[in-house]
Structure 1
């Protein structure tokens, strides 16, 4: 249910991306360094992380993850790895600049608008019309209020954590253990999306595959298509990319386990 609330906020922009007469890789790094110098509380400092997709032929693909957790990818057909890096930096820089607009700040007005949009998307569902601590709306409001003053790009990693928890079925399992959503939000607000979390989710998908053979492959195919569509459209990619990475990790671990059994 929380994932529907997340959908009410779209990080992609309608800005037309043109050729920038600057070194976009350097400009992107300088942008986040200046943001940190102005007092922004950034995870991993102002570090901008690039990840090239292994390939022996074009088009090459590169992803860039910003300090707040948002991820963008090369959106053009790139004949070289360097061009793929510049393409990813270009769309990330455009979104970073747009993110400074006052409308992107999490304020009281922003929260009310986001909550009202989320409530409208829940219309007709049970236990979602009020803002109580045990409702999806209440948890969503709590998350936003806890991050007032930050921008949406700086808030992205926390958003992605809860999108993944919903997708993976972890939120449902926590509710069955009588954990309120607000308790869950308070706990995971201090967690980073790290290798331990990815590994645990991969193990969950391995267990599902063992119970329902073929499920992992189908889910991975869907995740790959979603990521490719979003990348070529220049949209924010952290959630679809993390889904694909977790499923690939599960696939690799299953393959390693099968090889061990057969050797």
Structure 2
């Protein structure tokens, strides 16, 4: 009996080990179960105190043999799948994956509830006289990035004057503004400088105070409608200007998509130009 037990022990523990392979049903249920990034993204935002349920918007288009999806978050940020997909649902899943990563690790703007850091924006915005000295490095870099965002119709703009106007607008924002409100304000400043609106407002003798007041209450949708009409009139005066600018903006959109970065600004510019071209044609 003892000899039989030793034989079995040697067989099971001292001999060659064998691996138990999972069945096909187990593989399908456990090991190869696809991740639902759309559901994870929804859970991430609905778990916040403000409950952003239903505020995540998906848009899917079919371009050049594949689907591209854009997902807009409650903060206003927009992300897209970096590579076109043959399936519309897959493209949305990949876009949601990019958005989820940015939502989790993208910084304080995705986690603020009541704009507690807005005082930093006000403090930085008060240093207008030091706008190119590097004193407020993060604040200045954001505005300088906007200033470099020029269109073919805004090449001769006064960059220093635009910087001063944008600094005042941000510094005069409400102290309790949320991260989403500040993002939309930056988006409006991006579009206005790109469109040449600051130069036009200066010719109409608008003050910085008037610009800040009007921008605070102006929805992004209404601003883009105004710009669509402006670009349609530019096309009538200078045929081909929309196609020239659209090619530049599409390159920016493709690069931001490939780099898995926020594409909201480039996307809005492309939509403005396409809508203006439709009005002309």
- Tell me the TM-score normalized by structure 2: 0.67
Matched, 1:235 2:261: yes
Aligned residue for 1:53, secondary structure, equals strand
**1:139 correspondence with 2:169:** yes
2:239 corresponds to which of 213, 229, 241: 213
Scaled by the length of structure 1, what TM-score is found?
A: 0.72
> Structure 2: how far apart are the matches of 1:23 and 1:120?
38
Point out the structure with max Rg over C-alpha. Answer: 2
C-alpha distance in 1 between matches for 2:86 and 2:172: 45
Distance 1:142 1:81, change over 3 A: same
Q: Distance in 2 between matches of 1:120 and 1:181?
A: 18
Aligned residues: 221
Q: CA deviation at 1:107?
A: 4.2
Deviation per CA, 1:18-50: give whole Å up to 9, x if none. xx9742101112222222xx137x7xx751000
Is the 1:69–1:155 Cα contact (8 Å) retained in structure 2? no
Residue in 2 that maps onto 1:191: 218
Q: 2:209 aligns with which of 177, 182, 188?
A: 182
Q: Could you say what the CA RMSD is over the residues aligned between the two structures, in angstroms?
A: 3.2
Shift of 1:57: 2.7
Point out where structure 1 has 5 or more consecutive residues left out of the alignment. 1-19, 256-263
Say if 1:154 and 1:97 are closer, same or farther in 2 by CA, change over 3 A. farther
Q: Which of these residues, 242, 245, 248, is aligned with residue 271 of structure 2?
A: 245
Larger helix proportion of the pair: 2
**Aligned mates of 2:232, 2:60 — CA distance in 1:** 26
1:26 aligns with 2:39: yes
Helix, strand or coil: the match of 1:51?
Answer: strand
Aligned-pair distance for 1:161? 1.6
* Runs of at least 5 residues in structure 2 that lack an aligned partner in the other structure: 1-32, 125-135, 148-158
1:187 deviates by 1.5
